[in-house]
Chain A
Amino acid sequence: MGDRALVPFSPWSWCLLLATLQCCGASFELNRSTDSSAQRELNVRFAAASSQPVETISVFTLDYDYVQIPYEVTLWILLASLAKIGFHLHRRLPGLMPESCLLILVGALVGAVIFGTDHKSPPVMDSSIYFLYLLPPIVLESGYFMPTRPFFENLGSILWWAGLGALLNAFGIGLSLYLICQVPAFGLGDINLLQNLLFGSLISAVDPVAVLAVFEEARVNEQLYMMIFGEALLNDGISVGTRSWASLCSFCRITACAVTMKKYVEENVSQTSCTTIKYFMKMLSSVSETLIFIFMGVSTIGKNHEWNWAFICFTLVFCQIWRAISVFALFYVSNRFRTFPFSVKDQCVIFYSGVRGAGSFSLAFLLPPSLFPRKKLFVTATLVVIYFTVFIQGITVGPLVRYLDVRKTNKKESINEELHTRLMDHLKAGVEDVCGQWSHYQVRDKFKKFDHKYLRKILIRKNLPKSSLVSLYKKLEMKQAIEMVESGVLSSTAFSIPHQAQKTQETKRLSPEDVESMRDILTRNMYQVRQRTLSYNKYNLQPQTSEKQAKEILIRRRNTFRESMKKGHSLPWGKPAGTKNIRYLSFPYSSPLPAGRDVKMAEFTDHDGSDSELPPITFHTHSPAKSIQERRWTAEVIPMKSLHGAGTPPRFGYQRSTSREERLGRGRRAILRPKPLFHAVDEEFESEEEGEEEAPAFGSLLSSELRPGGDCNLSHSPLLQRK
């Protein structure tokens, strides 16, 4: 985990790892003791057989009883791991069916094995095991990987939909089933209302996240994603909460812990630790979920069932009906209040993604038999619903979504179309970035202010690690600066602009295979468009292909710029280096260019600007390194000022992104900043109340100090109009 200590996050997590390992054993313990007698019989028979010939030495005894527990545990783990690996190695399978399908199948297989050998009921999952060991990692992982900004922005809708929807579903299903039970023909008369309601609540707990992987390819917009995600998260909580208040509380605590700690954890630890934490959490939750599914599969194969056609069929039917009702009704209402309403297509997707998961099963399994004399019926019904939704809905949701997305039929596009399509995608992504994220300013910014003022100072360390990309960037910048200063001959790069098209225009006859191969090359090698839409995969972490792509792009831009510098264009858009650009603010008492640079440094310390608009390039979706850079700058601006303008070290420039003027400026040497200017600014600075807006205030205050007198070549500068 690197050489840095992990910020000690929730003690839950540490207990969990140990506990999870134990629980496998524990759960077996409970059962093995009861059927060891059966095993002993086996041994006895064997011993008897081997002792037939008198006075032989028993060379080989099979003491299954002794090794059973570790043997079966190992078998399960091995089988589950192999299945998972195989599932993901197969290229198309993860897109076809949710991983839950696979886990259930594995569980069923194991169950079949156990059933075959023992003829006994499967191992028991204890209520305490579930709530203490199996559920928390899942919840923790959901909370950790939840994208916070969209979640909180859509919180109203999510609460409305998930909360109310769950309740509506639960009551609806419960009541309908109760009515069915009243019909004497089905023989269900002994199930009272309370039992039905409780059953309704547990069967309505959906696990739609499992399905997200399947229709990830279709462009699911951010809002939809958040609804589904939020629903999953809250649903777990609600169904757990119907059991007991304590479990609801603990659930909320874990979620809150995960959500809040992520930001600080990721900023404090190094890159590798960050990755390790992510993978660790994924692993824990994965293990828990796998275990639950295995329990489920195991209990499918067994004698613990009670089959009642009416109850089960109606359960299935009502689940679908009520989900449809709640989706369409609730969204109809909430669409009135949303700026971006959900289309019918979106609603269909939400309806169809109501796949039940491990949660419902666990809750059903843990129903106390004393209160529920017909527990087996409930378990069976739950299993049927889960199987149905996971397999049938899970497998068909992909095609459905693709169909709804009205994708054109996949006929081959011409090269032109492909190229232009990709260009437009990039263009759109770029313009979206320019537009930024629109959100409710107020609450979020109040939080941000609080965050900066207090929390960050406490929770985030001073010297922070860098991401690999930021290091690369700095290396490149430094290299460039050195080259410029030395003004040596720059080596030609792979991206040098070739000789102009003197090539004669030959229209070659291209065979269809050539065209095909060209198209292939294009498709495979074109850069991916930045994914604005969230992409959460419960079972995988995103691969870091985008980093490689980004590196290439950055290097290429640097080289292009260098080339254009070499040719004497100072700026790619053609202005010679000499003119003072209007961009620069000039200090009346100092040479303009470096001063402009200094002011820009002040600009850049605006760490509270909008979302992700800071020079250092990082690719974490949550950009930990970005704020690392921000912090460093603010820390450094202040001491720099207090030095009263001693030679301006160019190191600030390194942390800037492609600021071309910067590179020009760096060549020049330091200036003397007039002392009085600084003094005044210092005072101003200290009197500044709002901590987070320090730097831009500094910048703007500085600029406000400018007086028109002096060597101001900014005749058009609007700043002059301020005075």
Chain B
Amino acid sequence: MKPPVVRARPADPATLGLALHLPGSRVGGKERQGSGAWLPAKAAAFGPGATRRPRLGDGRGERRPGGSSAMGSRSSHAARIPDVDSIRRETGFSQASLLRLYHRFRALDRTGKGYLSRMDLQQIEALAVNPLGDRIIDSFFPDGSLRLDFPGFVRVLAHFRPVDEEEDGNRDPKEPEPLNSRMNKLRFAFQLYDLDRDGKISRHEMLQVLRLMVGVQVTEEQLESIADRTVQEADEDGDGAVSFLEFTKSLEKMNIEQKMSIRILK
């Protein structure tokens, strides 16, 4: 893993803030419980018996879900990403990227709950008109959970980190595959098809995806025959469904590393 290089965005106080507050407020507690980690810090600020007027002064810097102005200027308080080291190890993001993602997470979390709900993601208007919008949102919530905390958020996005060949070479083969490897990227895409998580894309599931992605002028019969054909092409063992290995095989010529990488997520 490369040493963290904070790219010189000159005088980015957020970055400096992060550097200063790295140990962060590491309150124990399971990450699943909705980023409880940073909330107790805020609770301390309010205090249980706080008056009705919380101190807007320092509370605001942390609570603001708007994300932008207050945090930019007063981020030395806000930039406490809990468990930042383990997240970095797991996902491979640089310090600066993690910080940006954290700001983004906070911005999406408008009410400052500390976690994201499906509705928060649904408010991204571009996702609403993405044919796969719902499925993409669902992929952020694995195992049917209803809350997305920051580590989970980052974990999903880590799949889209561009592949760094150098990193690949230095990788310790005993460690688990990095999240942005080709296999993991494919696995991520596979789960968009395979809703019932049985490890196979049935014809019905293929048809559903097709239906989502195609305009209204295509008739049902045409769609069905296309779905048939798709499964048929990829299916090798004749079970009428596409397993993950068959899926990868059908895509072996495609440059997945480039297709499923987002440049800004370095």
Residues of A at under 8 Å CB distance from B?
221, 337, 339-340, 414-417, 419-436, 438, 440-442, 444-446, 448-449, 494-495, 498, 500-501, 505, 507-508, 510, 514-515, 518, 521-522, 525-527, 530, 549-550, 552-554, 556-557, 572-574, 581-583, 585, 599-600, 603-604, 606, 608-610, 612-619, 623, 626, 657-659, 661, 680, 684, 688-689, 692-693, 696, 699-701, 703-705, 716, 718-719, 721-723
Contact = CB atoms under 8 A, between A and B. Distances in A.
Most chain-B Cβ atoms within 10 A of its Cβ — which of A433, A434, A616, A618? A434
B203 A718 contact: no
Contacts of A617: 125, 128-129
A428 B33 contact: no
A608 B68 contact: yes
Interface of B: 7-9, 14, 33-36, 39-40, 42-43, 46, 48, 50, 52-54, 56, 63-73, 96, 100-101, 103-104, 107-108, 110-115, 117-119, 121-134, 136, 138, 140-141, 144, 146-147, 156-157, 160, 189, 192-193, 202-204, 207, 209-218, 220, 222, 225-226, 228-230, 232-234, 240, 250-251, 253-254, 256, 259-265
B110 A603 contact: yes
Contacts of A501: 202-204, 207
B154 to A, nearest CB: 11
B51 to A, nearest CB: 10
A334 B264 CA distance: 18
Contacts of A704: 46, 50, 52, 54
B152 to A, nearest CB: 13
A696 B126 contact: no
Given A693-B66, A718-B39, A549 B215 contact: yes
A440 B214 contact: no
Considering the complex of A and B, which 4 residue pairs feature the smallest CB-CB distances, nearest first? A441-B72, A550-B129, A430-B136, A445-B68
A256 B7 CA distance: 32
Contacts of B229: 415, 510, 515, 518
14 contacts: A339-B9, A416-B251, A431-B262, A440-B9, A448-B68, A494-B216, A581-B146, A583-B117, A606-B110, A609-B65, A610-B68, A700-B65, A701-B54, A722-B46
Contact of B213 (A423, A603, A688): A423
B64 A553 contact: no
Nearest to A426: B132
A206 to B, nearest CB: 27
A333 B39 CA distance: 44
Interface of B is mostly: helix
A427 B136 contact: yes
A707 B52 CA distance: 11
B146 A583 contact: yes
A721 B123 contact: no
B128 A419 contact: no
Given A526-B214, A527-B214, A603-B111, 13 more contacts: A340-B264, A416-B230, A423-B132, A423-B213, A430-B136, A436-B107, A501-B203, A553-B129, A553-B130, A610-B104, A700-B63, A718-B113, A722-B46
Nearest to A503: B224
A573 B64 contact: no
A346 B232 CA distance: 41
Nearest to B40: A721
Contacts of B117: 583
Contacts of B261: 428
A57 B122 CA distance: 84
B160 A442 contact: no
A381 B131 CA distance: 53
A514 B55 CA distance: 70
B125 A722 contact: no
Contacts of A518: 222, 225-226, 229
Nearest to B153: A434
Nearest to B112: A700
A564 to B, nearest CB: 11
Given A423-B213, A610-B67, A723-B48, A428 B129 contact: no
Nearest to B114: A718
A445 B111 CA distance: 19
Contacts of A554: 128-129
A94 B17 CA distance: 51
Contact of B125 (A425, A522, A657, A699): A657
Contacts of B228: 508
B234 A416 contact: yes
B157 A722 contact: no
Contacts of B250: 414, 416-417, 420
